[in-house]
Structure 1
Amino acid sequence: MSTQGDARPEALLVALHSSGGTPAFWREYVQDWGAPVRVLLPQGPLPRREGYTWFHPDHEQKAAAGKLADLEQMGARVADLIRGVRRTHPELRRVAVTGFSYGGDLAWWLAIRYPDLVDFAVPMGSRLLGDTSQPLPATSHVRVLHGEADAIIDARQTSARVEALKAQGLPIDMMSYPGLGHDVSPALIEDWRAFLRQALSGQAVPPVASGAR
């Protein structure tokens, strides 16, 4: 875990890498954050390609119930990490979780299953798996970022999911990026950073009209 700015920041950013990635993916994006923040970059427990992953290789072959069980198990482990940081640093008042691909799936899961630990979530290139049993607290906000040309996770399905969740009363919106595949881009990172800086600084975050940037 690293600290940007003040030695006792009141905000924690948890960033979860994609399958086959490493925590180093986030370093250039969290450097020079411009505001006091603690940064936690967990590493997936399983080796994959040149990096690590969060789930066993059969994850994609499982039915919905199996995928959700995997999310529940790994989400509980990440939640324990966050809980430990909050115990060690009781001054923390705001926590945001973000992630890309499998990391995005986990970021979303943490927001809906652990609202006592997570105040904001930014899933990217993710599927938003699982049903919500109750609305998120009014102070929470989920912003979904997704490439419109994503050939792995269809942006149209993600958009439909966002609209359905919004209709349930969840504080969620989506920004999509024309021409962007299953990846990040300078424009996406700019929006990602702007949202998280605002949210973690304690400022009110206005919703956006879901759609292309």
Structure 2
Amino acid sequence: MTTSAPPPLDPGQVWWSAPADERAGRPLLVLLHGHGMDEQMGAGVRDRLPPELVLASVRGPLRVRSGYGWFPLDASLRVEQVDEAAQRVARWAAGLTGHPSLGVLGFSQGSSVGLQAMRLRPELFAYGVVLSGFASPLPVGGDAELARRRPPVFSGRGDADGLVPAPLVALTDRWLAGHTTLTRRVYPGLGHDVSPAEVEDLAVFLRARLPGA
């Protein structure tokens, strides 16, 4: 049985940190928000990240309360839905030409989609960021190639984050260590959130990813 490809990402549901005529030739970072959030996540972090970066913050396709999501977090969840969300992001990002580097950053559920996009298209993203996030537990066809490339990945989470189950955190840490060049930080007392100290560490990581750094 064949399934149809997920619908393309709507460009109107992307928040950009720079107007179209100021993006070419600059490194690009795609942002994927968490469950119940929206693309304005990009506006919230713009001033705390390297100004050389162009940010493209994408809205998830599912309406969730007052925000959006990438896939359901209830009994209706199918693993294929993570793939579908990641495929939409990867296909859209592959069409963003004219940038010397392309990274993907996800928070919570968005990090699962970002990692899955890297696994589906190992050649596409130069690096990744996982904030309070997790990896899909099932193997993906691009895993071996990703492990060969070992792209840089920053993973940050709080030690008081009880939202992501501990076994999934452990699985994600093992998977990242085996497939990426991992920078891992755990922040004491932080819950399912991002702290100023974490943003400072993230900015250092991103500056090191800039062309010519």
Matched, 1:71 2:86: no
Sort the Cα spacing of 1:170 and 1:36 in 2 relative to 1 into closer, same or farther, 3 A. Answer: closer
2:204 partner letter: A
Unaligned runs of 5+ in 2: 1-15
Cα deviations across residues 146-173 of structure 1 (Å, max 9, x unaligned)? 111111114564245323542x353224
| Cα distance in structure 1, aligned partners of 2:107 and 2:182 | 17
| Cα distance in structure 2, aligned partners of 1:145 and 1:11 | 22
1:100 pairs with 82, 98, 107, which one? Answer: 107
- Structure 1 position 2, deviation (Å): 3.1
Matched, 1:24 2:34: no
Alignment of 1:198-213 (within 5 A): 198-203=208-213
Taking structure 1 as the reference length, the TM-score comes to 0.79
- Structure 1 position 9, deviation (Å): 3.3
Cα deviations across residues 118-159 of structure 1 (Å, max 9, x unaligned)? 110001111211335304253611121111111111456424
Unaligned runs of 5+ in 1: 204-213
> Aligned-residue CA RMSD in angstroms?
2.5
Corresponding residue number in structure 2 for 1:175: 185
| Cα distance in structure 2, aligned partners of 1:141 and 1:126 | 16
Taking structure 2 as the reference length, the TM-score comes to 0.79
1:2 partner letter: S
Corresponding residue number in structure 2 for 1:143: 154
Contact residue 41 and residue 57 of structure 2 kept, 8 A = no
Cα deviations across residues 32-72 of structure 1 (Å, max 9, x unaligned)? 644422211110112111111111x3x43257xx22x1111
Q: Secondary structure at the match of 1:153?
A: coil
Matched, 1:82 2:73: no
Matched, 1:60 2:74: yes
| Cα distance in structure 1, aligned partners of 2:61 and 2:179 | 35
Contact residue 62 and residue 70 of structure 2 kept, 8 A = yes
- May I ask how many residue pairs the two structures share in their alignment? 193
| Cα distance in structure 1, aligned partners of 2:41 and 2:108 | 13
| Cα distance in structure 2, aligned partners of 1:187 and 1:114 | 31
Sort the Cα spacing of 1:188 and 1:70 in 2 relative to 1 into closer, same or farther, 3 A. Answer: same
Corresponding residue number in structure 2 for 1:191: 201
